[in-house]
Structure 1
Amino acid sequence: MPRPSDSLWDIAIAEVQKKENAGNEEDPEAAVHSERSVFFIGNKNGGKTSIILRCLDRDEVSKPTLALEYTFGRRAKGHSTPKDIAHFWELGGGTSLLDLIRIPITSDSLRTFSLVLVLDLSKPDELWPTMENLLQKTRNHVNRVVADVGKANSKLANQIKQNMWQSMPKDHPDRELIDPFPIPLLIIGSKYDIFQDLESEKRKVICKTLRFVSHFYGASLMFTSKSESLKTVTRSYINHLAFGLDRSKSVVVDHNKPLLVPAGSDSLSQIGSPPASSSDLRQFSGSTPMELWKNVYMRYFPPQNARDRKDLKDPAKDPQYAESEVDAMRAQKDQELEQYKRNADKSWKSMVLESHTR
């Protein structure tokens, strides 16, 4: 029975769980299964939906994600055991719908929650702003959720904080120099087939920058494209987050090849300094290594002024969500609004006229 405080997403997840448990009521052991959540964020049209469909073996044509979408996947552990469930969330609109991040990340889901940031490598000028805004907003929200958990259960909150360091070996030389993301993070650079046509120097800058950011946050990093081999590797990483399956342990850091850097396998000494001369580095302002890398990256790829929100289409006018009765009422309300604007404009003009004649 849904609670009054339940959102649409809470009800949808409850329905999935209800269907999964419907046939297992007579077998107590069959009710034992794991559930994990994977949240996809990133550039608009960056390939998030395609990655999810590929991992779920769904041969469908991907459609643009307008807001926040949910789907799920199941995987059996064996012939007689229950199926594990993975909840897949996807945020559309690039950085224009950041407030929706709070919907899937809750105190109930946090312990089994992972984040996948998909960055469009064919748009290097959008890469840093997208990455910075999404990760910052998500991290702030996760920290608030952990703080709320700590008020009720300090032991659980401490456990969540300790889990942040699981991807980093205890003897790693950079443990004191990094700041792990509060939940497991995978950064995927999409459209590598287009990216590889960039100039070698630009590819090197992008690769080194993403390696630094991923290492600093204790995240895994990989590039993908339409190549079947890269699709397979991408799927293994997503299945690792969604179902706990083994993932590829290969390491590729050559900027002339698609990167594949598991969390904890890189180091600041291997990455090196930001791609700038010593004199240039002294001129850049920045109180932290992250700010320094940002300033160097921005010199190579200045961000455009256009914002995602300007390009976001109105969902109410999208034909895939057509509802005749709702659309008719919406049209009527739009007409009433326009009439109100015209009347208000006339009233304002008459007031101004009167003030001038006095």
Structure 2
Amino acid sequence: NDIGIESSIFIAGSPEGGKSTLISSIFDKNTINVSSSTLLLDYTYRHNNRTKGLNSLKDTLHIWELANGVMFKEFLKIPINEHNINNAVAIIVLDLTKPENIIDEYQEIIEIINTRIDSILKNLEKRGSRRPKALTLYSWKKYGNSNPDKEFIHPTIIPSIIVGSKYDKFKNMESYFVCKILRYLAHINGSSLIFYNPNDESMSQKVYKKNEKIKINK
């Protein structure tokens, strides 16, 4: 019998960058803004009916929001583990109104993610699992063997999305250089790039649909 698919996404990024608002807007169309900050780790989930009827298939999406800080590395072990690494997606939210912090925030988060994933893959390899090789090959699939930037690219093993938040305020600023930086970071790390306005529900749904597309392609 077919069973529903379980997937996990975890969201991290800039303090007060709109992470909680992004999650809330996925679940509640009337949610415009969430002012409370995540202390350490928040969890919620969403069911999607893939088929209709009495025996309908339900896919489950687990959503974890992690706050930056000294415990980030430890708490990352919860949403990313060897049981869900095949169906995990990372969303990194960066506050566009504070461009001076974007590179440092992104690099810190992506390095911790990659360290966690490397640890999982090494443990799987020790037990003879073929998943590490398969996941690595998949992460390079979008680039191909003849990509001229191959020596500079280090794609994340799990799919990742960079979300540039507060786009409504950012678009009135000097944005060209920041956009080029984000496009570069997305390119060398194999990430998708989306610009997001917390006050625009349709943009929140685009982030959710992008995650759905990644899972389907995977």
* Alignment TM class, shorter chain as reference: 0.7 to 0.9
> Which residue is equivalent to 1:110?
85
Alignment pair present for 1:179 and 2:150: no
The 5-angstrom pairing of residues 32-47 of structure 1 reads: 32-47=3-18
Higher share in strand: 2
> Which residue is equivalent to 2:110?
135
Q: Which has the higher contact order (CA 8 A, sep 6+)?
A: 2
Alignment pair present for 1:67 and 2:67: no
Paired with 1:52 and 1:185, the residues of 2 have a C-alpha distance of: 16
Query: Given the superposition, is the C-alpha separation of residues 155 and 232 from structure 1 closer, same or farther in structure 2, using an over 3 Å criterion?
Result: closer
- Select which of 142, 155, 162 maps to 2:137: 162
Paired with 2:202 and 2:144, the residues of 1 have a C-alpha distance of: 28
> Which residue is equivalent to 1:289?
none
Paired with 1:134 and 1:210, the residues of 2 have a C-alpha distance of: 14
The 5-angstrom pairing of residues 131-280 of structure 1 reads: 131-169=106-144, 172-199=147-174, 203-225=175-197, 226-241=199-214, 244=216
AA matched with 2:49: A
Paired with 1:42 and 1:237, the residues of 2 have a C-alpha distance of: 18
What SS class does the counterpart of residue 127 from structure 1 fall into? Answer: helix
Q: Conserved in 2, the CA contact under 8 Å of 1:114 and 1:183?
A: yes
Which consecutive residues of structure 1, in runs of 5 or more, have no partner in the other structure?
1-28, 246-358
Paired with 1:88 and 1:186, the residues of 2 have a C-alpha distance of: 14
Task: Note the C-alpha offset of 1:159.
Answer: 1.3
* TM value normalised by structure 2: 0.88
AA matched with 1:212: Y
What SS class does the counterpart of residue 145 from structure 1 fall into? Answer: helix
| Corresponding residue pairs, total | 211
Higher share in helix: 1
What SS class does the counterpart of residue 154 from structure 1 fall into? Answer: coil
RMSD over aligned Cα, in angstroms?
2.1
Q: Runs in 1 of length 4+ with deviation above 6 angstroms?
A: none
For residues 218-265 of structure 1, give each alpha carbon's deviation from its aligned partner in whole angstroms, at most 9, with x where no partner exists. Answer: 110011112354334223213334x638xxxxxxxxxxxxxxxxxxxx
* TM value normalised by structure 1: 0.55
Which consecutive residues of structure 2, in runs of 5 or more, have no partner in the other structure?
none
Paired with 1:134 and 1:182, the residues of 2 have a C-alpha distance of: 14
Task: Note the C-alpha offset of 1:104.
Answer: 1.7
Paired with 1:232 and 1:37, the residues of 2 have a C-alpha distance of: 17
AA matched with 1:34: I
Q: Conserved in 1, the CA contact under 8 Å of 2:43 and 2:65?
A: yes
Alignment pair present for 1:98 and 2:72: yes
Sequence identity percentage:
27
Point out the structure with max Rg over C-alpha: 1
